Amino acid sequence: MPDDILHTAISVFGHTIRVTARQWAHGTEAHDYMSGNMDQVLETLAEPGRVIAGEHGESLALRDYESTNITRKPLWWFIEMRPMDF
């Protein structure tokens, strides 16, 4: 795995999704509560509760969690899956 790629997951569409250091830094800087939730992000990519169409041709993977590192309330993770990410 190149240094920039932190993790990969196989999407429900069978595509390899890369989570790069740049993407993760962007997400965790804008949403610091996300920093401890990489496992949930990868799980959401691989096994979303549902997938919806985004506004720019991307797919959004969503999954409900009963608890995360910051809350015990249900939470949806939105992960953009665009063709360029495969």
Reported confidence tier of residue 75, pLDDT bands at 50, 70, 90:
low
In the predicted structure, residue 73 carries a pLDDT above the cut 80: no
Q: Which residues pair with 10 in a beta bridge?
A: 16
Count of structural domains, the chain: 1
Burial class, 31, CB count within 10 angstroms (exposed 0-12 / middle 13-18 / buried 19+):
exposed
Residue-number span of the structural domain to which 22 is assigned: 5-85
Mean pLDDT along residues 32-56? 86
In the predicted structure, residue 39 carries a pLDDT above the cut 60: yes
DSSP state of 68: -
In the predicted structure, residue 48 carries a pLDDT above the cut 80: yes
CA–CA dist 32, 11 (Å, integer): 25
